[in-house]
Amino acid sequence: MIPDHILIRYGEISLKGKNRNYFEARLIKNIKDQLNAFSPGSFEFVKKISGATLVKLNKNGLSDIAEVENAIMHTLGIVNYSFAYSVEQNFEEIKNFCWQLIKEKDFKTFRVTCQRSNKEFPMKSEEIEREVGGFIFEKFGRKKSVKLKDPDCECFIAIINDYALVSLDKKKGLGGLPVGTGGKALVLMSGGFDSPVAAFSILRRGVTTRFVHFHSMPYTSKASVEKVTDLIRVLKKYQSSGVLYSVPFADAQKEIVMNCHESLRIILYRRLMMQIAQRLAKREKSLALVTGDSIGQVASQTLENIFVVSHACEMPIFRPLIGTDKEDIMDTARKIGTYDISKLAHDDCCTRLMPKKPETRANLLAVLEAEKALDIPKIINDIFEKIEKIKI
């Protein structure tokens, strides 16, 4: 027996009020896009039914079920899903099918749940539940018990338009909100563990992310840009697009190194990055910047330094990992598939010309004073002529 449908359920909270239709339509669009990306031409339809979204697979989908599931596992906004089997809309057929399905399974307690959206079907939901539940109970020789709350096994029956669906196991999805329902943000992406995980946290709340990476080529190798590109390719699996702005930063760093005290280098690099990122974000209508900072993780991430860096731009800077330990960040990296790429060595533009004793408690006035030695608008304008937009 091969399941030919997928029943997809989403969270309740976001469904309240006026947002409901918008949210559901976006989820359906995203599921279609994901299925087409992972397993092209695998479905006949994706549509809303009462309380769920229903996917009907076609011949291609049935022969490519692992990739179909991969697509669902990479779609944000799905709380849980189950593969379902279509059955003729006839009570005897449904009852026997439920038995065929459940008899293979190992469990102690069970329940039968029915949802009837086709009200022309002659039996009510409760009646179907009772009859099918009783039938299964007897068939098992009364050895399994019915448990309505938290059973080991739930047999679900949906009576929809002109057929019925039966499913057994619910699998957990990624949760969150559908990508595209929360606007756009620009992620400052380095090659480490943190920024891809920060990007995922924002994506998970429905925000479409674009990326900016600062490199010091030719002083650092091309590998750092390639590493970031590989990371974005992984994150792209959770949203349909992958846009990277690759920013040549070596000339600006040279200006800072020549004109300012070495202890302030990292802070001045970071302030400049924020200003460039903000201008890019405004140009492409992103409403926030995102970084992988976590308090105290490295010298540049003390509260004082975060304060001084944030002061360089007026746009909100989201730091979703600010209170997260490195171990937890790495766990998430493993789950989302960025760990193996992040762990490879890379040379970041900021580690180049690293001061011996970087400032850990920057003072805003002192930093503003130091910046007077630089022609910031000119530096930014020069850089903007060389930014490369890469579609991944």
Residues that bind ligand ATP (CB under 6 A): 188-195, 213-214, 291-293, 298, 300-301, 348-350
What residue 190 binds from ligand ATP, Mg ion, none (CB within 5 to 8 A, per partner kind)?
ligand ATP
Tokens of 336: 């989302």
Q: Tell me which amino acid residue 182 is.
A: G
Q: How far apart are CA 68 and CA 59, in angstroms?
A: 12
User: Shortest gap between Cβ of 265 and Mg ion (angstroms)?
Assistant: 17
Q: How far apart are CA 115 and CA 271, in angstroms?
A: 56
User: Shortest gap between Cβ of 212 and ligand ATP (angstroms)?
Assistant: 6
What residue 300 binds from ligand ATP, Mg ion, none (CB within 5 to 8 A, per partner kind)?
ligand ATP
Closer CB to ligand ATP, 116 or 213, in the complex: 213
Q: Phi first, then psi: what are they for 79, rounded to 5°?
A: -85, -45
Closer CB to ligand ATP, 164 or 266, in the complex: 266
Strand partners, 200: none
Q: How far apart are CA 169 and CA 52, in angstroms?
A: 15
What residue 229 binds from ligand ATP, Mg ion, none (CB within 5 to 8 A, per partner kind)?
none
DSSP class of residue 205 equals B
Under the binding rule (CB under 5 A), the answer on residue 194 touching Mg ion is: yes
x-or-dash pattern for Mg ion, window 283-302, by CB under 5 A? Answer: --------------x-----
DSSP class of residue 301 equals G
Closer CB to ligand ATP, 284 or 369, in the complex: 284
Q: How far apart are CA 282 and CA 277, in angstroms?
A: 9
User: Shortest gap between Cβ of 297 and Mg ion (angstroms)?
Assistant: 5
Q: Phi first, then psi: what are they for 143, rounded to 5°?
A: -90, -15
User: Shortest gap between Cβ of 176 and ligand ATP (angstroms)?
Assistant: 20
User: Shortest gap between Cβ of 120 and Mg ion (angstroms)?
Assistant: 60
What residue 33 binds from ligand ATP, Mg ion, none (CB within 5 to 8 A, per partner kind)?
none
Closer CB to ligand ATP, 33 or 293, in the complex: 293
Strands 52-57 and 5-10: antiparallel
DSSP class of residue 236 equals G
3 state SS of 84: strand
Do residues 318 and 201 lie in contact, with contact meaning Cβ atoms separated by under 8 Å?
Answer: no
User: Shortest gap between Cβ of 378 and ligand ATP (angstroms)?
Assistant: 21
Closer CB to ligand ATP, 129 or 293, in the complex: 293
Q: How far apart are CA 358 and CA 94, in angstroms?
A: 71
Strand partners, 47: 54
User: Shortest gap between Cβ of 332 and ligand ATP (angstroms)?
Assistant: 12
What residue 310 binds from Mg ion, ligand ATP, none (CB within 5 to 8 A, per partner kind)?
none
What residue 210 binds from ligand ATP, Mg ion, none (CB within 5 to 8 A, per partner kind)?
none
Place of tokens 């809309």: 89
3 state SS of 124: coil
Closer CB to Mg ion, 82 or 300, in the complex: 300
Q: How far apart are CA 216 and CA 347, in angstroms?
A: 9
Closer CB to ligand ATP, 262 or 348, in the complex: 348
What residue 350 binds from ligand ATP, Mg ion, none (CB within 5 to 8 A, per partner kind)?
ligand ATP
**What part of residues 76-135 is at the interface with Mg ion (CB under 5 A)?**
none
Strand partners, 290: 187, 318
Closer CB to ligand ATP, 164 or 280, in the complex: 280
User: Shortest gap between Cβ of 51 and Mg ion (angstroms)?
Assistant: 42
Count other Cβ atoms within 10 Å, centred on residue 145. Answer: 13
User: Shortest gap between Cβ of 360 and ligand ATP (angstroms)?
Assistant: 12
Q: How far apart are CA 348 and CA 352, in angstroms?
A: 7
- How many residues sit in the footprint of Mg ion (CB under 5 A)? 2
Residues engaged in binding Mg ion (CB under 5 A):
194, 297
